[in-house]
Structure 1
Amino acid sequence: MNKIMIVGAGAMGCLFGARLALAAYDVTLIDVWREHIDAINTAGLKLDADDGEQTVRIKAGHAGDVAFRPDLVIVFTKTLHTATALESVRHLFGEQTHLLTLQNGLGNVETLGRFATAERIMHGVTNYPSDLKGPGHVSSHGTGYIRIYGADGQCTDAHRATADALCAAGFNCTLDVNVERAIWEKVAFNAAMNSLTAVTGMTVGEVGASTSGPLLARQIVAETANVARAKNIVIDADAIWQSIRTVFVEHARHKPSMLQDILQGRATEIESINGAIIATARAHNVPAPVTETLCHLVRMIEQKPAASPG
């Protein structure tokens, strides 16, 4: 797993790319933001982390700029851009190229399945913090974990090599046969926090300090747990709720990505989070009224016409 392509050079893609490059892996970042790519290729990628600041020399480019066959492709695009992004680089994939998604939401394996066979796909979850400060500059402070496993439920030498590479880069990565449970737990957390902040325009702390915010958040988590249970996936709703209560206080000023997208007039990941929960709920005849209502409200905000100048 020496030649690594990272598709999506946002905050997480840059963090992972920088750490892997520092561990002597041959890493290339793929993105569509030309200013960001040019900054990285000209002056390197600035990494601001707990162990200090450093500039990492790493390759970056558009899909059309590169011509190598990757051993591993790590996907960090927003879920609504996954298919387009992978289509742009699929001609570079070989029979031994493996794909790993650490994206938010549900349905990522199904999308990757259009570009590789099941035994070459890994899915997982991570909670490492990362912020993109500007072109060619990423910041990450704090710890986290990565859990991955084969999407077909198997564990191969390639999967172990991927976990070893991530560990060598300084990440806490484990192979977890129950990774789908971890994915659903993160989805439950995001379905509550992202949709509530996106609809209200509140920060995490403001939602937590309101009368209704915590009640709605806990109901969304409970509904998501019921939907997961219908798929024979048991998630710890109480632990998720405790995590939400913690971030209400410790990350009070934080604006989740979905709120940031709304504020910037961008499309959100609502379909792969709340929307995917609802689709699964309907397939199994499980009610999820609060989750569905928040999903519809975010969709309405996305469809709001842009304000006319003047």
Structure 2
Amino acid sequence: MKYTIVGAGAMGLRYGILLQYNAGVPVDYVEPTQASLEKIRAQGNQVFKARDHKDRHALDINIYAPEEYAGDPDMWIFFMKQMQLPDALKRLAPKFKSHQSALGAMNGMGHIEQLQKYFADDKIIGGTAMIATLLNDYGDVDFMGVEGAGSSVYANLTGQPSATLDEMLRDFQAAHLNPSQSTNFMGTLLTKVFFNSVENSVATMFQSRMGELMAYDQFLAGIARPLINEAYDAAEAVGYQLLETRDEMIQQVDYVSTVANPLHFPSMYQDFVKGRPTEVDYINGWIADLADRVGTKASTQRMVTHLVHLAEAMREYHPPVNQLIADK
């Protein structure tokens, strides 16, 4: 299949590079962020790729502004920030065709409803990825972990099998994205949202690596467990079934923090230290809103949402140190 990646940020570049250079399939990029587009074009339509801060080298890519793109992909892959997606979709709307599919594998919740405005339900795939990636600068990406590290899960919105998803999974396997398939659409998406409501938000507030959170011996019991319990309470009240039990989610937080990616700064931190808005409203805030709608309690999720926004406001008085740069 041919793929068009919308958003040449950390995950967009990782997926695109792996599909193009490992799987050998055609990949285009559409970059709605003008500063990123200009930087990559100034580099000769090349991006720099490293792994664990080593072996940094340039790779050729095809990149376009939304208005100038004339390609006809089999699948669009959206890796925008939640707050940027509506404008990107509006700019790209004349390019969408009925035979095309859309994969939304973004952080947080809200993007599926946006995709449904432009694509039929049987053309929408949702996904989540536990794949650590840093964007050092526009057009400069750093893959964290050994080749093939991390995993990803995908599900059709309809919950039904499809030849498109089967072919995509074959390409993703060849790309070393370690994909698996699920028939539980909401469970697939919420797995990452609930995980991020702990790791991303708390690490961002304290400007820490994932592994450093474990320095507090009550992190799992006193912080992760209440957040996860509130999220599961709300999901279960709606009837959503997660891919993991509550205990398995806690174990996942423990494993990622101590074994898989202890040195990783999560994506929300990357936005925070670069002065950008975070996606906390689409993660912790979304969970708290869900709890309000179904009548369960999520005061901890709501408080974390406010605290991340407070940390954003405090940047005016106490500018954060960008440890992504110091760590290079």
Q: Please indicate, yes or no, whether the TM-score normalized by the shorter chain is above 0.5.
A: yes
Structure 2 residue 104 is matched with structure 1 residue 101: yes
Task: Give the structure 2 partner of residue 47 of structure 1.
Answer: 49
* Aligned match of 1:38: 41
Structure 1 vs Structure 2 CA RMSD: 2.6
Any conservation in 1 of the 2:205–2:307 contact (CA below 8 Å)?
yes
Given residue 69 of structure 1, which amino acid in structure 2 is its aligned partner? D
Of 285, 297, 303, 1:293 maps to 303
- Residues 172 and 179, structure 2, Cα contact 8 Å, conserved in 1: yes
1:152-206 deviation per Cα after TM superposition (whole angstroms, max 9, x unaligned): 2222222222222222323322221124323212211110112222333344344
Within 1, Cα distance between the matches of 2:87 and 2:311? 24
The match for 2:175 among 160, 169, 175 is 169
Correspondence for 1:77 among 80, 94, 107:
80
Q: CA deviation at 1:228?
A: 1.5
SS state at 1:28 partner? strand
Specify the alignment match of 2:153 in structure 1.
147
SS at match of 1:68: coil
The answer as to whether partners of 2:156 and 2:185 remain within 8 angstroms in 1 is: no
Q: How does 1:257-272 map to 2 (within 5 A)?
A: 257-272=267-282
Q: Is the 8 A contact 2:40 2:47 kept in 1?
A: no
Deviation at 1:53, TM superposition (A): 6.8
1:70/1:93 contact within 8 Å kept: no
d(CA) in 2 for partners of 1:163, 1:221: 29
Opposite residue 130 of structure 2, the aligned amino acid is: N
Any idea what SS the aligned residue of 1:220 has? helix
Shifted more, 108-117 versus 196-205: the winner is 196-205
What is the rounded CA distance, in whole Å, between the counterparts of 2:137 and 2:15 in structure 1? 16
CA distance in 1: counterparts of 2:50 and 2:207, whole angstroms: 29
In structure 1, list runs of 5 or more residues that go unmatched.
none
CA 1:305–1:210: 2 relative to 1, 3 Å: closer
C-alpha distance in 1 between matches for 2:81 and 2:138: 18
Q: Distance in 1 between matches of 2:315 and 2:136?
A: 29
The one of 229, 233, 236 aligned to 2:236: 229
Q: Which residue of 2 aligns with 1:280?
A: 290
In the superposition, relative to structure 1, how do residues 289 and 9 fare at CA in structure 2: closer, same or farther (>3 Å)? Answer: same
Q: CA deviation at 1:305?
A: 7.7
Q: Percent identity?
A: 27
Secondary structure of the corresponding residue to residue 294 of structure 1: helix
What stretches of structure 2 of length at least 5 have no aligned partner?
320-328
Q: Which segment drifts farther, 195-204 or 94-103?
A: 195-204
> 2:150 & 2:185 partners in 1: Cα distance?
15
Asked if the contact 1:21–1:56 (Cα under 8 Å) also holds between the matched residues in 2, the reply is no
* Residue identity matched to 2:150: G
Query: Take 1:246 and 1:95, find their aligned partners in 2: how far apart are those partners?
Result: 42
For 1:171, the aligned partner's letter is L
Q: Distance in 1 between matches of 2:199 and 2:178?
A: 25
Cα distance in 1, alignment partners of residues 212 and 171 from structure 2: 39
Mean Cα displacement is larger for which, 163-172 or 52-61? 52-61
Which of 226, 240, 250 is the matching residue for 2:249?
240
Q: CA deviation at 1:286?
A: 0.9
- Aligned-pair distance for 1:226? 1.3
**Cα contact 1:39–1:136 (8 A) shared by 2:** no
SS class of match (1:201): coil
1:124 aligns with 2:127: yes
The 3 A distance-change label for structure 1 pair 268 and 285 is: same
Conserved 8 A contact 2:28-2:63: yes
Please give the secondary structure, in 2, of the residue aligned with 1:290.
helix
Contact 2:159/2:184, CA 8 A, preserved across alignment: no
Give 3-state SS (helix, strand or coil) of 2:113's partner: helix
Aligned residue in 1 for 2:203: 197
Counterpart for residue 5 of structure 1: 4
Query: What CA distance in whole angstroms lies between the structure 2 residues aligned with 1:39 and 1:132?
Result: 17
| Alpha-carbon distance change, 98 to 48 in structure 1, aligned in 2, over 3 angstroms | same
